[in-house]
Amino acid sequence: MTDRPDLAIVGAGPAGLAAATEAATRGLSVTLLDERAAPGGIVYHAVTRSPLGGSAVLDADYCRGAGLVEAFRSSGATYCPGASVWAVDRDGSIGVTVDGQARWLRPRRVLLATGCMERSLPFPGWTLPGVMTAGAGQILLKDSGAIPDGPVVLAGTGPLLLLVAVQYLRAGARIAAVADLTPPGAWQRGLPQLAGALGCLPLLRKGLSMMAELRRSDVRRIPGVTGLRAIGTDRLEAVEVRQGARAERIPAGVLLVHAGVVPNIVLTRMLRLPHRWDPRQRCWRPDADAFGATALDAVAVAGDGARILGAEAAIHAGRLAALDAAHRLGVLDRAERDRHAAPEQAAIERHAGLRSLLDAMYPPPDALTFLDADTTICRCEDITAADIRAAIADGCRDPNQVKAVTRCAMGPCQGRQCGQTLARIVADATGQTEEDVMPPRARPPLRRLTIGDLAALETE
C-alpha cells in the first residue's frame, strides 16, 4: 500500500467500489480502505461469501453486488480490508490502522463513501438485549443465515423494513407482527410522485411484489402505530404497541426496528464541512455539488453518505466522483469528464424520482413522538432525555453545551447514534426548528487508537 496514492477512498460499499473501479480504469493510483473483511459495504454485505447467496432469501439485487466486486478486483485499485479509519484531516490525509499498525496516509485526494446508517429512534426499552435495528437483523441473516428461535416483531417504516420482513419470512422466521409506524395514507401521499418514479420500474415492481408477498402470508400487520415500548427485565420479553389510545402487548424474543436511513455524517462533521438540513428526509447531509465535491479542495463525498438515494444511485455517484477526481488530477479534461458524467447523472435523476415517492410515502418519524423522559438517548454514556432537558433548563442552548455538561455524545461512538436526537430535543426545548440546531461536534479518533499506536504512528 502506497502512502501517497492519487485517490484514497473510505468505504467499500457500492459508491466506493464503483469509484475505485472507475478511477483506476482512468489511470489513477487508488487505495480503497474498508473496515470490513470483505467488499460490499452494508447493502452488499458478505455478497461474495454469504451462505444464502443465490438463494431465494436474498434476491437478485443483492447478488448484483458480486459483479461490482468482480469489476473492482480486476481494476488495478489497491484493496485494503480491515482498515479502521480513525481520522481524516481537512487536507485529505487519513489516519488509519491496518494489521494493528497506525499509519498516516497523504493521498492527493480523498473520497468519503461511508454510506448511511439507520436512523436512531429511541423509545422506552430500546436498549434491552433482543432489540436491534432491522439492518443489524439483516446483517445476521446475510452473514450466517441465522434467524432467531423466538417470535420476531418488526416495527418501523420504510422500504428496508419491508425487505427485512420478507427476507425473514422466506428464511422461516416466526414473525409475530409487523408494527407499521407509517402514518396512514401512504399511497395518497405518494400518488403525485408516482410518475417521477417510473424511471425505476424494476425497483418499483420489486417493492410492490414484496408488499404482495407479505400480504399473502399470514403475518399480522398493525397499521398506524403511534407508540412503542420494549418490555423485559434482563432481555426483551414483549413489545407494547400503541395505536392512539389502544395498547397491546405482543410476546417477542426479538424486536427489529427501522425508521429509515440517514447519511453517516460523523466524518464530514469532524471535517467541519458545511451541512444542510433535508426536511423531506429529516436529516443533515454534507453540502456537495453534482460530482460530490465539497467546500474542501481535497475532499469529496459520494453515495448515501452524501445523500440518501439508495445503492444503485450510489454506484453512479461513485463513478461521478471518480471522473471528477481524474479531471482534477489532470488525466481527464473537463469535456471528457462531462461526456462520461451525463449518463451517470441521468441515472441518478431516475433514482431521485423513486426517492421522492418513497419519501412521500414513508415520512421519517419525529424522534420526540416515541421517547419519554426516562428513555436513554446516549447509550455510550447512559444519558436520558430528562438529563438533556435538565441541562437545557440550566441554561444550555446548543447541543455542544449539553454535551459538555452531560457527557451526552461524548462516548466512543462520538455522537453518531445520539447526535440527531440530542439536537431534536434541544430544538424542541429551546423553541427552535430542527433546521436551526446541528448535532454536536464529533471528535476523533473514530475508531480504536491506543496511546502506543499514536506514539508509534508513521507520519511519512
| Residues engaged in binding other proteins (CB under 8 A) | 87, 89-90, 93, 95, 104, 272, 397-398, 400-401, 404-405, 410-412, 414, 443-445, 448-452, 454-457, 459
* Of residues 2 and 430, the one with the C-beta less far from other proteins: 430
Q: Is the Cβ of residue 339 or residue 397 nearer to other proteins in the bound state?
A: 397
155 versus 270: smaller Cβ distance to other proteins: 270
Closer CB to other proteins, 60 or 455, in the complex: 455
- CA–CA gap between residue 89 and residue 270 (Å, rounded): 9
If one counts every other C-beta atom within 10 angstroms of the C-beta of residue 453, the result is: 17
Cα-based distances in Å from 292 to 26, 275, 287, 309: 18, 13, 8, 13
Whose Cβ is closer to other proteins: residue 34's or residue 381's? 381
Closest CA to 344 of 323, 364, 329: 323
If the CB atoms of residues 88 and 163 are measured against other proteins, the closer one turns out to be 88
| CB 28 to other proteins: min, Å | 24
CB of 19 to other proteins, least distance (A): 25
Q: Which of 80, 77, 70 is nearest to 22 (CA)?
A: 77
Q: Quote the least distance from Cβ 431 to other proteins, whole Å.
A: 14
Give CA–CA dist 193/360, Å, rounded. 8
CA 408 from centroid of its chain's CA atoms: 21
Q: How many CB atoms lie within 10 A of CB 25?
A: 17
DSSP string, 184-242: S-HHHHHHHHHHHHGGGHHHHHHHHHHHHHHHHS---EE-S--EEEEE-SSS--EEEEE
Cβ contact 15:315 at 8 Å: yes
- Minimum CB separation from other proteins for residue 418, in Å? 15
CB of 306 to other proteins, least distance (A): 21
> What is the closest distance, in whole angstroms, from the C-beta atom of residue 303 to other proteins in the complex?
25
Could you tell me where the DSSP H helices lie in 38-101? Answer: 60-73
- C-alpha torsion angle, residues 9, 11, 15, 19 (rounded to 10): 20
CB-wise, 269 or 282, nearer to other proteins? 269
Least distance in angstroms from the C-beta of 11 to other proteins: 20
